[in-house]
Amino acid sequence: MLNLNLLTLFPDFFVTPLKTSILKKAQAEKKVNFKIVDIRQFAQDKHKITDEPPYGGGAGMVMKIEPIDLALRSLKHKKGQKNKAIILTSAKGKVFTQEKAQTLSQLKEVTIICGHYQGVDERVAQYLVDYELRVGDYILTGGEPASLVMVDAITRLVPGVLGNPESLVDESHSKPNLRSAPQYTRPEVYQGWQVPAVLVSGDHKKIKQWKEKATKFTQS
């Protein structure tokens, strides 16, 4: 079983998504265990403050290191542990890929720290995490949406989560420069839009050749 922890200032963000579709099924079948940790509960002052203005000035607020560190300690999870990984969502991190999702899906425990506000105290990235990752070249309101993308991509790759493991073999991004071939179903003609003739020809050799050509990935 993969234990997947989510450290966040907004626990309610994950309630419905983690109870839906494949994520719900994976948890019910004990393939994955999700744990949501409220970082605010580890703030040490009476007001539960988790962010402060940055040293040196600048716009926005920055998440404090102390509550994050204490939240990780509560999980007994630290950087560099075997078969485990700690991730910080960050706009300056490396891009999260299908290859990284595959690697993470084979571990025993993954903890994702959801960044927020203007950023996170840099010492979190330096001393507390194994990976600093982003899901794309754009800015989100916080790390929660990015974390959910990672959770979904990782969970579906955990052995036994998907009913038919062969469905993972030739799907988009499962190999470099690979995309899934276009798919069609009945009716053969709809609103004048025709299914490619080769797919209804019954010629398996030509169909295979068509699919192999269609899976070659080109970026737009």
Cβ atoms 195, 184 nearer than 8 A: yes
Which amino acid is residue 173, in one-letter code?
Answer: H
pLDDT tens digit sequence for 85-140: 999 999 999 999 999 999 999 999 999 999 988 899 999 999 999 999 999 999 99
pLDDT tens digit sequence for 37-79: 999 999 998 889 999 999 998 888 999 999 999 999 999 999 9
Q: What is the pLDDT of residue 220?
A: 47
How far apart CA 122 and CA 161 sit, in angstroms, is 36
Determine which helix (DSSP H) or strand (DSSP E) holds 2, and give its type and residue range.
strand 2-8
pLDDT tens digit sequence for 128-184: 999 999 999 999 999 999 999 999 999 999 999 997 655 555 555 556 667 888 999
pLDDT of 201 > 50? The answer is yes
Domains and CATH numbers, the chain: 2-155 (3.40.1280.10), 173-214 (1.10.1270.20)
Determine the distance from the C-alpha atom of residue 198 to the mean position of all C-alpha atoms in its chain, rounded to a whole number.
37
Question: Whole-prediction pTM value?
Answer: 0.87
The CA distances from residue 86 to 41, 131, 217, in Å, are: 19, 6, 31
* Res. 194 pLDDT band, cuts 50 70 90: very high
Q: What is the pLDDT of residue 218?
A: 55
Indicate the Cα dihedral angle 66, 12, 18, 142, nearest 10°: -60
